[in-house]
Amino acid sequence: MTENTEEQWLNKGLRLLDRSGRSSLKISRLCAELNLTKGSFYHWFKSKQEFDQRLLSYWRELFTSEFIKDANHGGTSKEKLARLIEKCIEGMKDESRLEIEINMWGHQERSIGEFVEKVYKERFQYLIDLLEDIYKNKDEAKRHGHILYSLMIGVELFHENLSRKELKSIFREYLPPS
């Protein structure tokens, strides 16, 4: 048997979701993948629904809160934005479908969709906050926010084979002026 921690269950859940989609998030499959019992699962989670909610909270922590925390180590808003874009580019080269799978899951279940929408709004608001500090004009900041956010989603969906150099070139075009 392998070690039994909550984080281990959540990491396995994210990997299964990424590789095989929402339908793979079955208690029996998680247990088999981890070589643990259903009792081990229920030690950490009262139900599959609780697991799903904690999995989404974990996704938010790793791919929103941690990205923002990392970006905030920059000095100016422009430096923070550059750090954020760099971190996103890093994630794009992992050949991950996680964001796509979570988005699809959100379209299939209302409660999941509501949570995912809150995360998207949190991400967008952070981007807007940085851009408003850079541009000082709220309309211009919002316009650039929509461009950058849409670009990020578009690249994630349609251009997974771009090199790191190509990705940097694309995003460099949309970074605010010095």
Domain holding 21: CATH number? 1.10.10.60
pLDDT tens for 59-101 read 999 999 999 999 999 799 999 999 999 888 887 766 678 999 9
Asked whether residue 100 falls in the same domain as residue 155, the answer is: yes
Q: pLDDT digit string (tens) for 8-60?
A: 999 999 999 999 999 999 999 999 999 999 999 999 999 999 999 999 999 99
Please give the full DSSP string across 86-133, using - where no structure is assigned.
Answer: HHHHHHHTTT--HHHHHHHHHHH-HHHHHHHHHHHHHHHHHHHHHHHH
Give dist(CA 71, CA 83) in Å, integer: 5
Examine the domain organization and report whether 5 and 29 are in the same domain: yes
Provide the CATH number for the domain around residue 97: 1.10.357
Q: Please check whether residues 19 and 57 belong to one and the same domain.
A: no
At 157, is the pLDDT very low, low, confident or very high (cuts 50, 70, 90)?
confident
Q: Give the per-residue pLDDT at 170.
A: 85
Instruction: Flag whether pLDDT at 146 surpasses 90.
Output: yes
Asked if the structure places residue 177 within a domain, the reply is: no
Contact partners, residue 60, CB within 8 Å, separation at least 6: 115, 119, 122
**In-domain check, residue 131:** yes
Would you say residue 100 lies in a domain?
Answer: yes
* Model confidence, pTM: 0.89
Q: Please indicate, yes or no, whether residues 140 and 65 belong to a single structural domain of this protein.
A: yes
Range of the structural domain that residue 116 is part of = 48-172
